[in-house]
Chains A and B, each alone.
Chain A
Amino acid sequence: MTLWKRFSSNTGAMIGVIILLLVIAIALLAPVIFPKGPWQMVQRPFLAPFSTDGLPLGTDTLGRNVAAQLAYGARVSLLVGLVSTVVALLIGVPLGAVAGFYGSWVDEGAMRFTEFFQTIPNFALAIVLVAILEPTLTSITLAIAIVSWPPVARLVRAEVMSVRKREFVDAARVAGLTRRRILVAQVLPNTVSPIIVMASLMVATAILLESSLSFLGLGDPNAMSWGYMIGAARTVIRQHWWLSFLPGIAIVITVLALNLIGEGLNDALNPHLSRKARA
């Protein structure tokens, strides 16, 4: 209740929520609004926005409906962003939790492993993975998850280590609870807030990563995506700049909305910190 109150009193966060809901609605309704799909040629190419009825945003280099492309692109962005974040959490949370809780050589090993993945330039690794595994939605999602989990592991480890030092964990040990139960039932619930905040920001980063891969031609050839649209229109940017411009705006707005939500969550979940930051 108070959490929602704090969150909803944050103007930026509420703008973010409204934009995100709109993008989700467009993504869900894309097949209803544009039953022909994003790939079909509907008119002659390079129609400017607002110039033709029924094609509010004009047509692209191959005469495809730009509005339909944007709507279907939203599906890919949100899907890849969400699923890759979930996968990254599934890797990062257990690894960080075990490392932070058990310490000693478990921690040492897990952190060397994490550091290794953090050292590898993540975008370059994503390119190599997708290039070698052949670009499909699955390989793209997997590649993004593989390059995004290290910060999660570090965050969870740090949180678990700080919670582990609190006396209620000692109390649980003295009460005879098993270590696994202490970790799952006592420690992890106290690390949820920062994980939620990080997850919302990760979805945003994943959307940027997916669009970058598609821009380089590493998108799933069967899925319309915003990055692909920009990449395809790049060669004609001098004459038809809006073909590159519009999908870029779609990305900026969606990512911005997610970042605003992430910041709002951060302020709402850590009222103490945000008050400090505002003071």
Chain B
Amino acid sequence: MTDPALDIRDLTIALPAGADRDNAVADITFSVATGEILCVVGESGSGKSMTANALMGLLPPGVGVRSGQAMFGGRDILALPEAEKQKMRGESIAMIFQEPMTALNPLMRIGEQITEVFAAHDLLNPAERRARALELVREVGLPDPDKIIRAYPFQLSGGQRQRAMIAMALALEPKLLIADEPTTALDVTTQAQILKLILDLRAKHGMAVMFITHDFGVVAEIADQVIVMREGQIVERGAAARVLGAPEHPYTRRLLDAIPTGRLPEARTLAEVPALEIKDLRKVYRTGGGLFRPVREVRAVDDVSLTVARGEVLGLVGESGSGKSTLGRAAVRLITPDAGQVLVGGTDIAALSEDELRKERHKVQMVFQDPYASLNPRQRIMGAITDGPIARGIPRARAEAKARELLEIVGLGADAATRYPHEFSGGQRQRIGIARALAMEPELIVADEAVSALDVSIQAQVLDLLRDLRSRLDLSILFITHDLRVAAQLCDRIAVMQKGKLVEIGTVHQIFRSPQQAYTRQLLAAVPGAEWNRDGAVTA
């Protein structure tokens, strides 16, 4: 594999004036060999996507290549005239994107979207195009190709759409496939299937793959070579095994350390007193049901019972649609369950009237997923934290003093109180969200995907904070996440949910070392880099 399919030299991409730095990437040099998968790893803002867009000639307005060349098929593709670039796109370099939900035209049938690749390059006649489209749909493993071809994107699942995207990318047998975070928006099991598909296709077609990701687990699954990018620079490069096993640059090491690995925490002894008891909880969502439409029922939470002991962190794990978020929102009574009890300190939160509930709200608090949506942009931090305590009847002066104290505890400093949310980064906002929850002195905190939206290194810091708070304040936490690796780092016990049912519950050690249920084993196997993680755990 010495023959480079793509050879990039001294590439610099300039950002428009007023951006937080001058260049998206500066003087980077790397190559991808034919038949090789190169993973470009970095956190958000590292410039990894800009590099891909530059190769495709798809840079956003205002952003441009300042210098450097990219040799591909004997030509510098950065210097090609637009018409040539257009011909090259789809034909010799193809690209797939992160969001399969939005990357397909919602008003066009899947078949049309595939055949137009041929049409755009004036290849084949309509009948041949259709036949090829069918073949491609079959090749990427979509069920019932005849039906899929006539379907619209909204009729497909996320994983199926990504497969359809890959079919389009493969249409003209490109020599290079650029994949920009293609599995980030997918569930773990779907992600595992798509990664396998990409590996299979690489083996079959022998194309070079430039795979952009932020996830070292994914790197461990598929990479031959790795480059690690940070703020527009390549900080480390090498064979995958070497970079993962013996990282040289401190940044790489930090990133790898920050990854929640299979290393399991020491088991702790827990109190017997329950902080939260959920009994036979049920929530059914009904949609449709108009004049002529049948009612459709989805059992989001189907007869689930579990307890969180005082001082315990219980991880609630599942894929999208498993009902984990519904359960969490029922625990804080953001939604009212159809049946069952939510007992907090002996009170059934689910049975209270609106007025009674308001007085009991403080007992269960929530930390939310999206750091950019969970704070009111028009309210100062002080207001965000003290609104609840003041509504509860705590004197303003005391509530404000407490807020300043809490801002110190979560590591922001008391002067953060007078500022507005937009002055803070995502990680800082999550800290504010935690302070807001603590201000109510709750018996239980529900953390709903509280670190999912954060970059790995920031994620690690917030997890550290939670771990620290857990021991200092004896917090009870219901920690909802789709990421088993994150759950393993923080939780005492883990509950696994699937399609509204509780599949399995046990200590972290039981779940990871000897899972009892097939679905749990499947989830564990789908975790990217599962093998590598386990090795890591052994050597650690």
Contact = CB atoms under 8 A, between A and B. Distances in A.
Nearest to A165: B373
B370 A167 contact: yes
A251 B369 CA distance: 52
A171 B377 contact: no
Contact of B387 (A170, A177, A189): A177
Contacts of A166: 373-374
A176 B378 contact: no
Interface in B367-390: 368-370, 373-379, 384, 387-388
Contacts of A186: 376, 379
A174 B387 CA distance: 11
Contacts, number: 64
B391 interface: yes
B334 interface: yes
Contacts of B392: 176
A162 to B, nearest CB: 11
B332 A174 contact: yes
Given A175-B387, A177-B387, A167 B373 contact: yes
Contacts of B433: 171
Interface stretch (B109-117, B209-217, B357-365): B357-365
Given A171-B368, A189-B378, A279-B61, A176 B373 contact: no
B326 to A, nearest CB: 13
Contacts of A181: 391
Contacts of A171: 366, 368, 374-375, 384, 433, 436
A118 interface: no
A97 to B, nearest CB: 16
A178 interface: yes
Contact of A170 (B359, B364, B366): B366
B137 interface: no
A182 to B, nearest CB: 10
A172 interface: yes
B440 interface: yes
Contacts of B61: 279
Contact of B361 (A167, A168, A176, A190): A176
Interface residues of B, number: 31
B334 A174 contact: yes
Nearest to A171: B374
Interface string A180-211: 01000010011000000000000000000000
B287 to A, nearest CB: 14
Contacts of B373: 166-168
Contact of A176 (B358, B374, B379): B358
Interface in B382-436: 384, 387-388, 391-392, 433, 436
Given A177-B391, A279-B61, A190 B334 contact: no
Interface string B27-67: 00000000000000000000000000000000011100000
* Interface size classification for chain A: 10 to 19
Given A167-B368, A167-B374, A172-B387, A178 B358 contact: yes
Nearest to A190: B378
Contacts of A168: 373-376, 384
Contacts of A189: 376, 378
Nearest to A181: B391
A171 B369 CA distance: 11
Interface in B430-454: 433, 436, 440
Max chain A Cβ within 10 angstroms of own Cβ: one of B60, B370, B391: B391
Nearest to A169: B376
Contact of B388 (A167, A176, A178, A279): A176
B124 to A, nearest CB: 35
B361 A174 contact: yes
A59 B217 CA distance: 85
A175 B329 CA distance: 14
Contacts of A173: 334, 361
Contact of B368 (A170, A177, A190, A279): A170
Contacts of B377: 190
A269 to B, nearest CB: 13
Nearest to B62: A279
A214 to B, nearest CB: 41
Contacts of B358: 176, 178
A181 B358 CA distance: 13
Given A170-B368, A279-B61, A176 B359 contact: yes
Max chain A Cβ within 10 angstroms of own Cβ: one of B329, B359, B369, B378: B378
Given A167-B369, A170-B334, A175 B376 contact: no
Nearest to B367: A171
A175 B374 contact: no
A202 B328 CA distance: 44
A148 to B, nearest CB: 27
A175 B368 contact: no
Nearest to B357: A176
A246 B209 CA distance: 69
Max chain A Cβ within 10 angstroms of own Cβ: one of B377, B387, B392: B387
A176 B376 CA distance: 16
Contacts of B391: 175-178, 181
Contacts of B369: 167
A174 B366 contact: yes
Given A167-B368, A167-B370, A170-B334, A190 B388 contact: no
Q: 9 tightest CB-CB pairs across the interface, nearest first?
A: A175-B388, A176-B361, A167-B374, A167-B368, A166-B373, A168-B376, A167-B373, A176-B358, A189-B378
10 contacts: A166-B373, A167-B370, A170-B329, A170-B366, A171-B374, A174-B365, A175-B387, A177-B388, A178-B358, A279-B61
Interface of A: 166-168, 170-178, 181, 186, 189-190, 279
Given A174-B332, A174-B388, 19 more contacts: A168-B375, A168-B384, A171-B374, A172-B376, A173-B334, A174-B366, A175-B361, A175-B387, A175-B436, A176-B359, A176-B392, A177-B388, A178-B358, A178-B391, A186-B376, A189-B378, A190-B377, A190-B378, A279-B62
